[in-house]
Chain A
Amino acid sequence: MRQRSQRGNALVALALALVAGPSTTVRAAIFDDAASAITLPSGDLTTEATNIRKVLEAYVHAVEAKDVQMFRAVKPNLSDEEEKRARMAFKSIQTQVVKMNVLVLEVKDGKATVKVSRRDTINGSIVSSFPQTFQLAKEPAGWTIQDIGR
């Protein structure tokens, strides 16, 4: 999965003409990049899109690998109580595959909002698609997830 995602990053990096800008909002048709768990909208994106995509892919890796440390790396503000919930969630699942279609990506003033449609396959069974919104912030070390909601 890690190899698939890395290949996906490379493909996206090549495919997208990333244009830096102070504020970018993209609402576009979804294209299916089967090589990655994260599907980004087509169109011109800021260079930040690649980095945001990496964060989301790391999030997906953390969920699929049931890796709390990796989860904390992409969401450093994880509280102790949230970490406990994450451990319990990981423990209750045997296998999980996550697919995300990015519907909206907004980047402004070092903040980003990513709205996705997500579909998980848990223990071999598909869970119905559901929407999810990620709030990210750009910190000196890079983008991190600040908040996750519906």
Chain B
Amino acid sequence: MTRRILGTLAFALLVSAPAARADDKLALLIPHLYGPTGLVVDSEARLPDGSTHSAHFNSAFQAEFTQFNVAIASQLTGLPIPTPASGFTYTLDPGLGLFTRSTKSFGPILSDRADTVGRHKLSLGVHYQRFTFDKIEGVDLGDVPAVFTHDNPALGGRDDVVTTSNAIDASVGQFTTYLNFGVTSWLDAAVAVPLVSTDLTVRSTATVQRIGTSANPAIHFFRDANGAIGNTRSFESTGSASGIGDVILRLKARVASLGPLAIGLGVDSRTPTGDEMNLLGAGAWGVKPFLVLSATSRTLSPHATVGYEWNGESTLAGDPVAGTKAKLPDQITYSGGVAVAVTGNLTLAADVIGRRIIDGRRLVPKTFTSLDGRTTFPDISFVVTSENEVSGAVGFKFNPRGRLLIDANLLFSLNDHGLRDTLTPLIGLEYGF
């Protein structure tokens, strides 16, 4: 039954969501929300030379909301590679000639431990997790305010502003297949291949705030399909895409053991195989060396990891409209937690998972004050800063039979930084050969 569900899931991911059209890339959805292909503010005012006045309103939302694309890409770079089923390792008790499972714990789900899978052993896993993003920097994605100001604002007609309330529905499904092979008893090589499905809908309701043109509504207005003019108009843009994401290659070695403490070193290489313009991948190479410390006892297995991810240049971090690239922010990743073997076939795992995005562009809520000095509106701006995005994870690994593991996990936000999903479920299967 489980196999059928997962198969259906994978199939649905591959075929049900048609890829976005080439001229409708998801990364362009927000930049194109306003302008010639989106909402246009009209005007019937005449310039002194008699030509038509073309109103130009600008906003940080449109110009700088690349944080959203980068944040989605960042989620994709944080692809979890589940710990191989190294819970199925056995050590020989030489005095009795009996094998004992070295640990009852099956290890963490979204974190890692130093154990390797064993020489010439193979483990295969599939995991599905779905993000439905709720907030960005604590701002509800259902109501992101943004104020558009006129070119060269000045008292009078140019004092008008357009206030917008933007609702962003963004969800990303990841179906990850990974293969882990024990090259030696202490070295694992792994590959994780994600299939990603991204859905993005942006709805914006814009209102002309007549601060300077209250006497003449024809100067700035929205025209509807029937030609009527008004102060308010809504616009919606939607798209979806699916396909292969960024493939991750991993080498992990158990380099030392100090009593119950094991030390592992590894490196993840992220290849830009996902289409970044459709928000399926980060669009940049990434290399992340990491250190793992873990201890093993019969029932309690604490673990901690720390890594540094160097990222290359991506269009998502630059200007998707112009096609120029900029450096995707580097990040320090860290995690710590404990896996508890409740019984021989059930392990509970709890982790704190964090990353510090270095010099990333961050949304900051602010209050806009118009040139008249009295009128205010909620607004956003962007700053470049480094912040920690911290999440919690709780889940279990259940061994119904043989070397099969069923994984389930809930990932939840522990702070407001970054693009956040209140609760991200994960289900998966692992099998050790």
- A residues in contact (CB < 8 Å) with B: 59, 63, 71, 82, 85-86, 88-94, 96, 118, 120, 122-125, 127-128, 130, 132, 148-150
Let me know if B46 is at the binding interface, CB within 8 A. no
In the complex, the answer to whether A92 meets B94 with C-beta atoms within 8 Å is: no
Number of chain B residues whose Cβ lies closer than 8 Å to a Cβ of chain A: 21
Instruction: Identify which of B92, B96, B101, B403 contacts A125 (C-beta below 8 A).
Output: B403
In the complex, the answer to whether B403 meets A90 with C-beta atoms within 8 Å is: no
Closest to A82 in B: B96
Please, could you name 8 A-B residue pairs with CB atoms under 8 Å apart, sorted by A? A63-B97, A89-B99, A92-B99, A93-B90, A122-B90, A122-B99, A130-B92, A148-B94
Secondary structure class of chain A's binding surface, majority of residues: mixed
Task: Chain A residues near B101: list those with CB within 8 A.
Answer: 92-93
Among B94, B98, B344, B401, find the residue whose CB has the most chain A CB atoms closer than 10 A: B98
Given A94-B402, A125-B432, answer yes or no on A120-B94 (Cβ-Cβ < 8 Å). Answer: no
- B residues in contact (CB < 8 Å) with A: 88, 90, 92-101, 104, 119, 121, 344, 401-403, 432-433
Task: Chain A residues near B90: list those with CB within 8 A.
Answer: 92-93, 122, 127
Closest to B90 in A: A122
Closest to B92 in A: A130
Instruction: Identify which of A94, A128, A150 contacts B94 (C-beta below 8 A).
Output: A150
Given A123-B402, A124-B403, answer yes or no on A148-B104 (Cβ-Cβ < 8 Å). Answer: no
How distant is the Cα of A118 from the Cα of B92 in the complex, in angstroms?
A: 12
Given A94-B402, A123-B88, A123-B403, answer yes or no on A85-B98 (Cβ-Cβ < 8 Å). Answer: yes
In the complex, the answer to whether B95 meets A120 with C-beta atoms within 8 Å is: no
Distance to closest chain A CB from B414 (angstroms): 35
Task: Chain B residues near A88: list those with CB within 8 A.
Answer: 100
Task: Chain B residues near A127: list those with CB within 8 A.
Answer: 90, 99
Distance to closest chain A CB from B298 (angstroms): 8
Task: Chain B residues near A96: list those with CB within 8 A.
Answer: 99
Instruction: Identify which of A59, A82, A93 contacts B99 (C-beta below 8 A).
Output: A93
